[in-house]
Amino acid sequence: MKALRIMRMALFISTVFFTSICSTYAEEQKEVHKADSPKNVILAHSEKPPVSGSAAAGVFNRYIFRGYELSTRSFVVQPSISVSYKYFSASFWGNIDSDENATQSFVPDRSGQKSFNETDLTLSYTYAIDKLSLTAGYIYYGTKYTAETEEIFLTTSYDTLLKPTLSVYRDITEYPGTYINLAISQSLPVYKKMTFDLGASAGYFAGDGNYWKTYESSTADYTGKKYKTFHDGMVKAGLTIPLAGNINVQPLVQYWFPLSGKAERTVDGNSYNHNGKLDETFVMGVNLSLSF
């Protein structure tokens, strides 16, 4: 088990290193083209329209949320739409499972049937200072397979090498706890406007409600100390391929894995974590997006 964790961390570090190399190359190429482009004078004085937005639909072999496997042996369709006015944004995201099947983290609301089983609504406000961006917001999770809940969050990102983004989420209703995620990403030009996209993230979770008590052999129940650990890791790669105008198609693959022994631990055949143990899992699929 220790060897597996070392291999996962090595994979994570190598992804960060490779992404860093790609990022450096991309920035160098950007500066070369920037100096030669007469459009830069126009762009420098242009203003972002007060209203903008995007719509997308993804098809994937699994739905993974913070390392938890929420679908299996089916495909999921995930539509989304987002609208922004100046610094304010509102977005909708949904999950449609073609054939609900139980996992270690998921109890179906319609086992063996298609279900539109999640609708998330997000409201946020973003404040930018030069390359630094701060976003605060609220998320409502409309889930049919578990109790609906709400979170507030704060995200900070810096537009530099690897584009580091640190996010803190706090559940304020059903499942009191704090989830912290650090992510990096970089896109490397491939051909014309096509890009090769790389990314990685690592999450830490600390539960502080009774729901997050862990499994104990002595009581054969969830009566142990509350779940707190380095939780999930993820590395991903994909392509962004322009089709026409503001329409892009984005094939991608993600590899999810537990970051610690506690995250993947079982006790007497039961998950140590009340929400279910984490496994090594691949997500593959394609996303079609439109910006306006």
pLDDT at residue number 8? 55
pLDDT for residue 5 is more than 60: no
pLDDT at residue number 47? 52
- Mean pLDDT score across all residues of the chain: 88
pLDDT at residue number 89? 98
Asked whether the beta carbons of 200 and 260 are under 8 A apart, the reply is no
pLDDT at residue number 48? 57
pLDDT for residue 101 is more than 60: yes
Confidence bin at 21 (pLDDT 50/70/90)? very low
| Burial bucket for residue 171 (CB in 10 Å: 0-12, 13-18, 19+) | buried
CA distances from 89 to 18, 25, 53, 110, 266 (A): 33, 32, 9, 33, 41
Compute φ and ψ for 242, nearest 5 degrees.
Answer: -65, 135
Contacts 24+ apart (CB under 8 A), 117-121: 117/143, 117/144, 117/145, 118/94, 118/142, 118/143, 118/144, 118/145, 119/92, 119/93, 119/94, 120/92, 120/93, 120/94, 121/90, 121/91, 121/92
In order of their start, the domains of the chain are 2-291 (2.40.160.40)
Compute φ and ψ for 163, nearest 5 degrees.
Answer: 50, 60
Average pLDDT over residues 114-136: 97
Name the DSSP letter for residue 205: E
Confidence bin at 49 (pLDDT 50/70/90)? low
145-184: per-residue pLDDT in tens? 999 999 999 999 999 999 999 999 999 999 999 999 999 9
pLDDT for residue 43 is more than 90: no
The helix (run of H) or strand (run of E) holding residue 23 is helix 2-36
pLDDT at residue number 50? 87
Q: Helices (H), strands (E): how many in the chain?
A: 3, 18
pLDDT for residue 11 is more than 90: no
pLDDT at residue number 45? 35
Confidence bin at 245 (pLDDT 50/70/90)? confident
Q: Provide the token pair at 72.
A: 């299996």
Average pLDDT over residues 60-70: 98
